[in-house]
Amino acid sequence: MTSESPELPWGVVLSIITVLALANAWFEPFEDSGPAETTSGVDRESHDPMVRKSRGWTSFRRATITPGIQTLTDGAGQCTTNFVFTDAAGEVYLGQAAHCATTGDEENGCEAPTRPLGTRVTFNAHGTRYDAGEQLGRGRLAYSSWRTMQRRGEKNRNACAFNDFALVRVARGSRDKVNPSLPYWGGPTGLPATGVDSYSISRVYGYGRSSLREDGSPYSRQAATLMPGGSDTDGWSHTIYSPSPGIPGDSGSGYVDGDGRAMGTLSTLVIDTVLWNGLGDLASELRYARRHSGIVGLKLEVGTIPFDDSRGR
């Protein structure tokens, strides 16, 4: 799924609006109040070597840079952040889709043209199709799975097709605005221990901020059905169905499972007899980044808000 850009044809826009109009609006009204935050006086490392729980985050109520906000990548269109990551040097990153920085229409990450590392990215709120909205902070592209696969000459066809993950390093002046919690749902609580493919049919939860939706739309809150399988993609991608699917501009948004564990990042939308999205497998994407990005000690950060899936029932 490409990032939302000014060149999006009106036919596509009208189709998306129709999809949203037909969606089942079964969500409760958005509540600013939620579960109390859980903070720790000391750093607590997870048993998972790819997960970290750090202290010192700005409270979620005060934070403006979190998972589920809009990004604008210099000249490339609008996407949504997925999760917060940190490294051994104390740098802070927000994840987004690698295709958010593309300069063309190619969807194979091993061939697609893309902007260089260091490209400017802004974090935004209240953006629309015609207005960038309010700038909340800024950062620079620090990792792109697409650029990395091209540099390495990656031959794994599933990685080329589905490894769609990038990291934006948050500018030092914007770090005091960051909290790692997913809006509305809370979490993430970690990563799946057994891999997503071992699941039966289950529910997953995400938050997208496409500028094609009205600000504060209940359709930003995604509660979807995860289908088991993924063997044909070697675990790199998973299929979800939702009455209100992710649309252009939601690209990159993060999804958690029924235990709040970060399991995927939104990459594709298919409009067929049934509407479905493809999620990149976050554990696979993060493992690849840890091996090949050159970012030492890269880990997913746990949220400070407890996960609550009852809000999607």
Domain that holds residue 266: 185-281
My answer on whether 140 and 173 are in the same domain is: yes
Judge if 78 and 129 occupy the same domain. Answer: yes
| Cα–Cα distance measured from residue 128 to residue 135, given in angstroms and rounded to the nearest whole number | 13
Say yes or no: 250 and 128 in one domain.
no
Q: Give the integer Cα–Cα distance in Å for 118 and 143.
A: 9
pLDDT above 80 (res 68): yes
Report the distance separating Cα 265 and Cα 168, nearest Å.
15
State whether 272 and 292 are in the same domain: no
Side chain identity at residue 115, one-letter code: R
State the pLDDT at residue 270: 79
Judge if 77 and 223 occupy the same domain: no
148 vs 154: CA distance, rounded Å: 8
Q: Sort 310 into a burial class: Cβ within 10 Å, 0-12 / 13-18 / 19+.
A: exposed
Mean pLDDT taken over the chain: 86
Q: Helices marked H in the chain — which ranges?
A: 10-22, 145-152, 157-162, 282-292
**Of 180, 184, 179, nearest in space to 307 by CA:** 184
Residue type at position 268: T
197-240 pLDDT, tens digit per residue, is: 555 779 999 999 999 998 888 889 999 999 877 668 888 999 99
